[in-house]
């Protein structure tokens, strides 16, 4: 395997709106990010992915871009961005932008022009189709609910939007549009960004017949996902994208790909794949409901373990996955993947360890390093997220009471991860001096960066040790290139595996169970303890005892 510059790096996702506000408007900003670079460096971060900071009407929190060449004023200016790049570079850190090119905002000038004349030049940047007998061209349901076709007022034209109606899909069959996108991407790479996280990219290939499919819900619609699933040919678009942009700059790309087709793994992230890496969502997909959040299921430990073991084994001969516990679309991992008795600092350390020492590129999400948790909301009006409001309605339509529907949102909402970063115990968790744009989690007085920096047993101090171990001169190669070998696969409490490289082995042992557990291992009593989440470790003669929620790494 050819070594690449990003193989041994650790990444961190910033959700800029909720990271750190320096001018008191309640919205995080670029100056805020710059002021926290040392914090991230100290944590052990190399690569920073910024959720979208482009100009946007924020219908979907910046994933609706109205100008790809501008920084939204709520975040600062292009000068601030250049300063961020320069300051990151000084610290040997890399910046990734979020590349949202399946769709843009309905306020983008392309779309504004297109609306004036759907049959004109800009009309062909999007998918405009005529409806039949006053009905949309097909029965697709958008990811955010209701028809994926929106009628253009006063005409019989509709345009396709797989997400919100304010996010019209871009026509990837149009070479002119592609040229505009390539030029824009190269412009950012020339500027010095190290690469991109690539949004919703699997959706770019459409079945141009746009034929209706069998409905999958009482609304008579079918998830637009079915159309994506049935169409071939995304690979050609992705390869052209890479050749015209990323490849020339050795850019690092991490793709957001859900439900890839089985045989696409090599094509996507193999040695010459379309992307450097892509997120492993196998554990996240476990809780997805068939019809929405209201029929989502809690994740069972054995399923969680099986899913991760499977993707580790499937990918290790092929390429690198990007391992995550949470992101801005998901509830907090501590609440989602840990059993009730482990939803505490001990559990957070355990979950962090098993994830970060897997083979692949670790991606932390802001607040994960202090064990941030889901945020309780008292009313649906406290939620900002467009998807949460849609899922709430879907739950009501399915017959849930208002209280039940709210509960469903509390468990699943994307806003769980979007509440402001908890910096200290002062008002608004030190995130802003004024009113934050989204509620701060009330647990911030006990759970914040400042308190954890001062406590050597905190989740944060533990994460620092964990990342330092992964990047230590002695173990860096092993954690980067070493084979993943599962251990105790059938044990209902243990999450355990080895990483091995050239005769060297590291063993990761975590006890997710409620009670202590003694196990017999091939390691002798001479094994060094490289990391231990609790004060004591009990190893003799190949026997090791783990308390509930304890994780030990030996080497
Ligand atoms: O997410 C794509 C995507 O498939 C999500 O809709 C996901 O299924 C959902 O968030 C689960 O609740 C990306 C971005 O990460 C997301 O924030 C955007 O809303 C979306 O694309 C549209 O750009
Ligand atoms: Ca601000």
d(CA 363, CA 356): 8
Ligand 1 atom index nearest CA of 412: 12
Burial of 2 (0-12, 13-18, 19+ CB in 10 A): exposed
Query: From the CA of 316, how far away is ligand 1's center (Å)?
Result: 27
Query: From the CA of 65, how far away is ligand 1's center (Å)?
Result: 14
Per residue in 506-537, pLDDT (tens digit) is: 999 999 999 999 998 876 666 789 999 999 98
The answer, yes or no, to whether residue 449 has pLDDT greater than 80, is yes
Query: From the CA of 21, how far away is ligand 2's center (Å)?
Result: 4
- Say which DSSP state 63 is in: S
Q: What is the pTM of this model?
A: 0.98
Q: At how many degrees (to 10) do helices 345-356 and 459-471 cross? A: 20
Q: Starting from the CA of residue 33, give the closest ligand.
A: 2
Ligand 1 atom index nearest CA of 414: 12
Q: Does residue 206 contact residue 169 with C-beta atoms inside 8 Å?
A: yes
Nearest to 10, CA basis, from 457, 450, 463: 463
Strand partners, 543: 520, 540
- Range 106-125 average pLDDT: 98
- Range 270-277 average pLDDT: 96
d(CA 506, CA 354): 12
Query: From the CA of 81, how far away is ligand 2's center (Å)?
Result: 14
pLDDT at position 1 is 80
Find tokens 């690092």 and name the residue.
Answer: 252
Who's near 102: CB < 8 A, 6+ residues apart? 162, 169, 170, 199, 200, 201, 203, 204
d(CA 85, CA 65): 21
Per residue in 328-379, pLDDT (tens digit) is: 999 999 999 999 999 999 999 999 999 999 999 999 999 999 999 999 999 9
Ligand 1 atom index nearest CA of 102: 23
pLDDT at position 324 is 98
Other C-beta atoms within 10 Å of 290: how many? 9
Q: At how many degrees (to 10) do helices 234-244 and 175-191 cross? A: 40
Element (DSSP H or E) covering residue 459:
helix 459-471
What's the chain's average pLDDT? 97
pLDDT at position 525 is 60
Who's near 66: CB < 8 A, 6+ residues apart? 54, 55, 56, 57, 104, 105, 107, 108, 109
The answer, yes or no, to whether residue 315 has pLDDT greater than 80, is yes
List residues near ligand 1 (CB under 6 A). 60, 63, 100, 143, 163, 199-200, 256, 258, 328-329, 387, 414
d(CA 428, CA 40): 21
d(CA 73, CA 71): 6
Task: Specify whether 121 is catalytic.
Answer: no
Task: Specify whether 384 is catalytic.
Answer: no
d(CA 217, CA 397): 11
pLDDT at position 523 is 67
CA-nearest residue, atom 14 of ligand 1: 199
Q: Which domains occur in the chain, in start order?
A: 11-102+175-205+224-376+414-461 (3.20.20.80), 483-554 (2.60.40.1180)
Find tokens 């079915």 and name the residue.
Answer: 226
Structure tokens at 112: 């504004």
The answer, yes or no, to whether residue 216 has pLDDT greater than 70, is yes
CA-nearest residue, atom 16 of ligand 1: 329
Q: Does residue 56 contact residue 106 with C-beta atoms inside 8 Å?
A: no
Per residue in 74-92, pLDDT (tens digit) is: 999 999 999 999 999 999 9
Per residue in 241-267, pLDDT (tens digit) is: 999 999 999 999 999 998 777 788 999
Query: From the CA of 200, how far away is ligand 1's center (Å)?
Result: 7
The residue from 29, 98, 256, 493 that is catalytic is: 256
The residue from 60, 72, 80, 199 that is catalytic is: 199
- Range 391-397 average pLDDT: 96
Nearest to 273, CA basis, from 315, 216, 307: 315
């Amino acid at each position: 395997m050819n070594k690449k510059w990003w193989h041994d790096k650790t990444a961190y996702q910033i959700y800029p709106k909720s990271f750190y506000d320096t001018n008191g408007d309640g919205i995080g900003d670029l100056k805020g990010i710059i002021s926290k670079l040392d914090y991230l460096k100290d944590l052990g971060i190399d690569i920073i992915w910024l959720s979208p900071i482009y100009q946007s009407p924020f219908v979907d929190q910046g994933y609706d871009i109205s100008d790809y060449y501008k920084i939204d004023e709520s975040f600062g200016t292009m000068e601030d961005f250049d300063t961020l790049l320069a300051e990151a570079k000084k610290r040997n850190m890399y910046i990734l932008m979020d590349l949202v090119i399946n769709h843009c905002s309905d306020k983008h000038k392309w779309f504004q022009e297109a609306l004036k004349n759907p049959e004109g030049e800009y009309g062909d940047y999007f998918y405009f189709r005529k409806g039949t007998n006053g009905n949309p061209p097909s029965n697709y349901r958008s990811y955010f609910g209701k028809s994926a076709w929106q009628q253009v007022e006063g005409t019989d034209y509709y345009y396709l939007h797989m997400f919100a109606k304010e996010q019209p899909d871009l026509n990837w069959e149009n070479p002119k549009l592609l040229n505009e996108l390539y030029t824009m991407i190269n412009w950012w790479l020339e500027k010095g960004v190290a690469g991109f996280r690539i949004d919703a990219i699997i959706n770019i290939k459409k079945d141009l017949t746009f034929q209706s499919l069998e409905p999958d819900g009482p609304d008579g619609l079918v998830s637009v996902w079915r159309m994506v699933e049935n169409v071939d040919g995304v690979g050609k678009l992705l390869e052209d994208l890479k050749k015209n942009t990323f490849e020339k700059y050795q850019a690092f790309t991490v793709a957001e790909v859900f439900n890839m087709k089985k045989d696409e793994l090599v094509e996507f992230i193999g040695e010459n794949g379309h992307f450097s890496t892509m997120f492993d969502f196998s554990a996240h997909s476990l809780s997805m409901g068939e019809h929405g959040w209201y029929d989502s299921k809690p994740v069972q430990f054995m399923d969680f373990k099986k899913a991760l073991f499977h993707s580790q084994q499937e990918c290790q001969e092929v390429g690198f996955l990007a391992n995550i516990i949470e992101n801005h679309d998901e509830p907090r991992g501590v609440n989602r993947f840990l059993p009730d008795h482990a939803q505490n600092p001990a559990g957070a350390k355990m979950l962090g360890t098993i994830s970060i020492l897997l083979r692949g590129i670790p991606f932390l999400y802001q607040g994960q390093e202090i064990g941030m948790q889901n945020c309780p909301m008292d009313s649906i009006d406290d939620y900002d997220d467009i998807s949460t409001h849609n899922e709430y309605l879907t739950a009501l339509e399915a017959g849930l009471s208002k209280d039940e529907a709210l509960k469903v949102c509390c468990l699943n909402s994307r806003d769980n991860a979007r509440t402001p970063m908890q910096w200290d115990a002062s008002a608004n968790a030190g995130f802003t001096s004024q009113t934050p744009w989204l509620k701060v989690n009330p647990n911030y007085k006990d759970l914040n960066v400042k308190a954890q920096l001062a406590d050597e047993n905190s989740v944060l101090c533990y994460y620092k040790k964990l990342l330092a171990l992964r990047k230590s001169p002695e173990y860096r190669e092993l954690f980067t290139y070493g084979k993943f070998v599962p251990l105790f696969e059938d044990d209902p409490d243990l999450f355990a595996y080895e990483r091995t490289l050239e005769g060297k082995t590291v063993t990761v042992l975590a006890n997710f169970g409620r009670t202590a557990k003694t196990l017999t291992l091939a390691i002798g009593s001479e094994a060094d303890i490289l990391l231990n989440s609790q004060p004591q470790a009990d190893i003799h003669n190949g026997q090791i005892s783990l308390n509930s929620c304890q994780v030990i790494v030996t080497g």
